[in-house]
Amino acid sequence: MSKPLVDLGRVGVWYGAIDALPTPEAQRAAQVVEELGFGALWVAEAVGRDPFVSAALLLSATESLPVATGIANIYARDPMTMNAGQKTLAEAFPNRFLLGMGVSHGHLVAGVRKHDWSKPYSYMVEYLERMDNALFMAKGPDEDPGRLLAALGPKMLKLAATQANGAHPYFTTPEHTAIARETMGADALLAPEQMVVLETDPAEARRIARAGMKIYMGLPNYFNNLLRLGFTEDDRADGGSDRLVDAIVAWGTEEQIAERVAQHHEAGADHVCVQVLQDGSAMPEDQWRRLAPALLDG
């Protein structure tokens, strides 16, 4: 399939922690992201806000900023509901909402939601077919807005290129971006996430990085992908080896972080969504303001 209609620009902001903000402050965060010129704002779904309701509130508070879901959990709503949510927002905010979908993780699907997570890939295949055939008897967007899949392994990456409009890899490296581009071909959108820490002291930067990585290190989806990239179980010890931390999280000066983002682009990414890691849950406005010139002026 071709790339989606929504123009995300070259660099966006991934901000799952936006759920920790009161809604007016979350809307102001979106306004800051728009003011600074980032191409898109990415929001997540886990056990917080509904991503469609949240996206509507953020889109309403901004003028032109696209909002993307990274990702909406396919086990959280049936295909007809997912399709309706996508088309409702795409019609209300033309070319500003991009649906990213994924199978999430076993502890969230089977553990929290009590769904069967035994065959996530097969479920995704069936889910996309049912979305394509879902009834929607309301005014929809004039054109198909497109959709992305959370994809890391070869099967899901290929599915993202053939039954969706691209992929949104998370918790990975420029080396994976190159593999994803080769797997999907030139026509699919590739929008990886990149964690960053604006800190030049190695010990402090890696401390913040390990805290941000902690929840993901124990999730099979992510660590199995790291094993495919050449990391080992030894790299998982003590919160992650320096080698692994430095591969997953770009830290240092604004210019050093921009260099990592450029590596993703050179490897084939169309768009890179940058996630600032920090202590606490306050909006990382200062970091966004420092990063924007380095990331957007190139």
List per-residue pLDDT tens for the chain, 298 residues long. 889 999 999 999 999 999 999 999 999 999 999 999 999 999 999 999 999 999 999 999 999 999 999 999 999 999 999 999 999 999 999 999 999 999 998 899 889 899 999 999 999 999 999 999 999 999 999 999 999 999 999 999 999 999 999 999 999 999 999 999 999 999 999 999 999 999 999 999 999 999 999 999 999 999 999 999 999 999 999 999 999 999 999 999 999 999 999 999 999 999 999 999 999 999 999 999 999 999 998 5
Q: pTM surpassing 0.95?
A: yes
CA 137 – CA 127 distance, rounded (Å): 19
CA 271 – CA 274 distance, rounded (Å): 10
CA 195 – CA 8 distance, rounded (Å): 18
Q: What is the pLDDT of residue 1?
A: 83
**Of 124, 130, 60, 129, nearest in space to 97 by CA:** 60
Topology of 11-194+279-296 in CATH? TIM Barrel (3.20.20)
CA 200 – CA 9 distance, rounded (Å): 28
CA distance from start to end of the chain: 29
Q: What is the pLDDT of residue 298?
A: 56
Peptide bond into 18 cis (omega under 30): no
Q: What is the pLDDT of residue 297?
A: 80
Distances (CA, A) of 14 to 87, 196, 215, 270: 22, 11, 17, 15
Kindly give, in sequence order, each residue whose CB lies less than 8 Å from that of residue 286, ignoring residues fewer than 6 positions away: none
